[in-house]
Amino acid sequence: MDIPLRTHATTQDRPAPLRYSRTWGTGVSSIAEARDAVAALLARVRPALGRRPVQDAQIVVSELVTNAAQHAPGPCALRLELLPGASALRVTVTDTSPEPPRRHPPDPRRVGGHGLHLVAMLSRGLEVTWLSRGKRVSATVPLGPAAAD
């Protein structure tokens, strides 16, 4: 199920944060689709963000969605939420695997297995919440001046 990008109504004078949600069944979700969702959501930020923070967020989303697609039988979900003041993007991927994300020791000769190192470098940590069936993995990608081009 796709929830279109939009600003949700609130009962206060300020708008709610921009959000995006996507769920998929047992099939593999399109990683390109997840990156496109990040770009579309962040394109709505005013003033506009630089290219670097958008690319960093796309890498984090790509790695987390790829891990879910490779290691969980499905269903899985992606949630993106722009934090107040557009200071950061909260990326959350939910999957059905009971296994925690694992960082492999660095090995430049190995193909693959570097994704969680990238996530750790580009975000404010990785949080894992265990669910009755699977887990929720979240990372917060800074978008402010520290992430500028």
Q: Which of 13, 14, 113, 1 is nearest to 63 (CA)?
A: 113
pTM of the model as a whole: 0.81
pLDDT at 3: 47
pLDDT at 13: 52
Report the pLDDT averaged over residues 110-124: 85
What is the set of domains in the chain, with CATH numbers? Answer: 18-147 (3.30.565.10)
CB 137 within 8 A of CB 128: yes
The values of phi and psi at residue 44, to 5°, are -85, -5
pLDDT digits (tens, 9 = 90+) for 54-86: 999 999 999 999 888 888 877 889 999 999 889
Q: Give the C-alpha separation, 102 to 38, whole Å.
A: 24
pLDDT digits (tens, 9 = 90+) for 31-52: 888 999 999 999 999 899 999 9
Instruction: Give CA 131 to chain center in angstroms.
Output: 18
13-27, 56-70, 84-98, 129-143: lowest mean pLDDT where?
13-27
